[in-house]
Amino acid sequence: MRKKIVAANWKMNLNPVEANSLFDEVSQISNSDVEILVFPSAIYLLGFNQKKSGNVKLGIQNFYPTDKGALTGEISISQAKECGAEYALVGHSERRALFGETHDFLKQKVDACLTHDLTPVFCCGEPLEIRQAHKHIAYVKNQIVTGLFHLDANEIVKCIVAYEPVWAIGTGLTASTKQAEEMQKEIRSWFSSNYGNDIAEKISILYGGSCNASNAKELFSCANVDGGLIGGASLKKESFEEIIESF
Ligand code: PGA
């Protein structure tokens, strides 16, 4: 059985008081069937780690893939780990589009995670014009191949994938269950062709992009949707909890 995962990507939201109180509320959600991950602003990680309880795990939204150096403003994966992060987002469309993170840089980030025993949550997804041109499958395949396929079987099973169509992120437009399942089944088939079916069946593939309390149940009922990466709807305990309870 693959792990069911619901991850909160808080992005650059919540002041310290709001963040602390939401983290306390989320820590009280008890659902042993679902792994709950919280990706807060990095400056909150250490404090959250000191008061962490329940089955909530912490992740970092962004990091730099070398261990130390003259890189003003950057955070290394080992620093993130020592502050409590067990997971890291890699390849989020905002990092790709707004901060110019390239395929090669993302590959380095995946490797840095695995070297330090953190689980990469590797995000992929196509912009609207690519879907309209019917090139979305090839586009996402290229992201997966360039970011992950250099890994061996022991490494790839440690990764989580999040399919997030760019046109659905923060827009209120959600992929239909048909669109999400079509892509996520494809993604699993690439893992299967490259690493074998046993490995492919172990990799959790999340859906992200305007996933909320009203559509989560339907999305999570798809055979290849193993959970969600939630932005906007993770900023309120009620909606985040309802998404978790959708399984
Ligand atoms: P959204 O964000 O749920 O607000 O669309 C998802 C994400 O960017 O991870």
- Domain with residue 119: its CATH number is 3.20.20.70
Q: What is the pLDDT of residues 194-219, one digit of tens each?
A: 999 999 999 999 999 999 999 999 99
CA distances from 159 to 114, 152, 209 (A): 9, 11, 20
Looking at residue 201, its pLDDT comes to: 97
Q: How confident is the model at residue 67 (pLDDT cuts 50, 70, 90)?
A: very high
Over residues 71-85, the mean pLDDT reads 98
**What's the CA-to-centroid distance between 230 and ligand 1, angstroms?**
5
Looking at residue 102, its pLDDT comes to: 98
> In the annotation, is 245 catalytic?
no
| Domain range for 33 | 5-245
Ligand 1 atom nearest to 234, measured from its CA: 3
Looking at residue 34, its pLDDT comes to: 95
Question: Out of 92, 94, 101, 136, which one is annotated catalytic?
Answer: 92
Pocket probe mutation, ligand 1, options 94, 128, 161, 164, max atoms within 8 Å of Cβ = 164
Question: What does the alpha-carbon distance between residue 114 and residue 200 come to, in Å, rounded to a whole number?
Answer: 18
Over residues 6-22, the mean pLDDT reads 98
For atom 2 of ligand 1, the residue with the nearest CA is 231
Max Cα-Cα span within the chain: 48
> In the annotation, is 103 catalytic?
no
Contact criterion met (CB below 8 Å) for 10 and 48: no
Mean pLDDT of all residues belonging to the chain: 97
Q: State yes or no: pLDDT of 32 exceeds 90.
A: no
Looking at residue 6, its pLDDT comes to: 98
Q: Which residues line ligand 1 (CB under 6 A)?
A: 9, 164, 169-170, 208-211, 229-233
Ligand 1 atom nearest to 233, measured from its CA: 3
Q: State yes or no: pLDDT of 4 exceeds 90.
A: yes
CA distances from 212 to 18, 93, 132, 207, 226 (A): 20, 19, 24, 11, 15
% of the chain with per-residue pLDDT over 70: 100
Q: What is the pLDDT of residues 86-97, one digit of tens each?
A: 999 999 999 999
Contact criterion met (CB below 8 Å) for 174 and 168: yes
Domain count, the chain: 1
For atom 3 of ligand 1, the residue with the nearest CA is 231
Looking at residue 247, its pLDDT comes to: 87
Question: Out of 35, 94, 126, 164, which one is annotated catalytic?
Answer: 164
**What's the CA-to-centroid distance between 234 and ligand 1, angstroms?**
9
Contact criterion met (CB below 8 Å) for 125 and 161: no
Q: What is the pLDDT of residues 107-151, one digit of tens each?
A: 999 999 999 999 999 999 999 999 999 999 999 999 999 999 999
Please give the model's pTM, rounded to 2 decimal places. Answer: 0.97
Q: State yes or no: pLDDT of 14 exceeds 90.
A: yes
